[in-house]
Copies of this chain bind each other. A is one copy, B any other.
Amino acid sequence: MVTLAEVAQHAGVSASTVSYVLSGKRSISATTRLRVEQSIRELGYHPNAGARALASSKSNIVALMIPLRTDMYVPVMMEIAIAVATTARTHGYDVLLLTGEEGPDAVRRVTGSGLADAMILMDVQLDDERLPLLRGTDQPSVLIGLPADTSGLTCVDLDWNATGALCVEHLAKLGHRDVAVIGEAPAVYERHTGFAERTLDGLRSRARELDLRVLHRPCEGGYDAMAATLARVLDERPGTTGFVVQNESAVEPLLALLRQQGRAVPEDVSVVAICPDQVATQASVRLTSVAIPAQEMGRHAVERLVAKLDGRGSDDVVLIAPELTVRASTGPAPTAP
């Protein structure tokens, strides 16, 4: 392993000079800089991460806590993780992957050991047990997702309230009066995951204003679960003509079932999905949808975090405005016979 000292010797300068060439924290004459850079290249020098971290108290690593469970939005999580990793890299940071498994202990471990300079938390629950720890440390952090109390925290999320409202508005405008919401798996609501509840709140309150009737049913993904859910919905509200689907693994089953029952989309029934664009365009009917901007969320989170690490930036909430794209799964409500 090549060390700083060896580079210094090779270039005929002192170790500190090499360090300053690397960090740019003091001015170095062009000739020395070039000589040092040349030596670095020739020897194939890479600074030792541990030594650097020890001396500077900075690891240049950000931790990313992802959920352990895979009961929702797996591709979204993945896309966020990838966006976080690539964005972090452009700012000179590497990403440490933590699963939810350790829970709050992971936060303690990371802050305590100086393993990472900052953290990004995903899968935030409304009353997340990691939050007190984050508030109690001076290590910067960003949440992807919104807890109930955001004071003293930086959060990035899609504006789920607005998303719910947007979906129901679109259906209202098309004349639908009875709307069913196919939600995430029950477990997601039970653990009070912010986005699911917020979507529903936003949707319901807008529906009230617009005088629509809303029936919400959580739904595990998959064909069988969707079949059972649909049967119950149509039994309870036979006049339902609009669907909002938040569980992406229920989308395709729903379409198949409707088709099978002779209900045409969008002639008889309209469907709005909340899902990544890829899902919306690959479905058997091109879906009118509100996109989940996974990449943007990941990128934003890192950029807020880097800002904080640089001393710029402050605690606040970044809500990304939802956008609804009209495709082929929604149309005017059928006129009563």
User: Which chain B residues border A74 with CB–CB below 8 Å?
Assistant: 74-75, 78
> Is the beta-carbon distance between B81 and A70 smaller than 8 angstroms?
no
Chain A positions 49 through 71: 1 when the CB is less than 8 Å from some CB of chain B, otherwise 0: 11111100101010010101010
> Is the beta-carbon distance between A53 and B49 smaller than 8 angstroms?
yes
Contact of A114 among B48, B102, B108, B283 (CB under 8 A): B48
Range, interface on chain A: 35 or more
- Per the bound structure, the CA–CA distance linking A101 and B53 in Å amounts to 24
User: Which chain B residues border A108 with CB–CB below 8 Å?
Assistant: 46
> Is the beta-carbon distance between A96 and B96 smaller than 8 angstroms?
yes
Q: Answer whether A253 and B284 are a contact pair too, CB < 8 Å, given A48-B114, A95-B97.
A: yes
- A249: min CB distance to chain B, Å: 6
Q: With CB as the reference atom, state the residue of chain B lying closest to A69.
A: B82
> Is the beta-carbon distance between B50 and A70 smaller than 8 angstroms?
no
Interface residues of chain A, those whose CB is within 8 Å of chain B, are: 1, 44-54, 57, 59, 61, 64, 66, 68, 70, 74-75, 77-79, 81-82, 85-86, 89, 94-99, 101-102, 108-109, 112-115, 221-223, 249, 252-253, 255-256, 259, 281-284
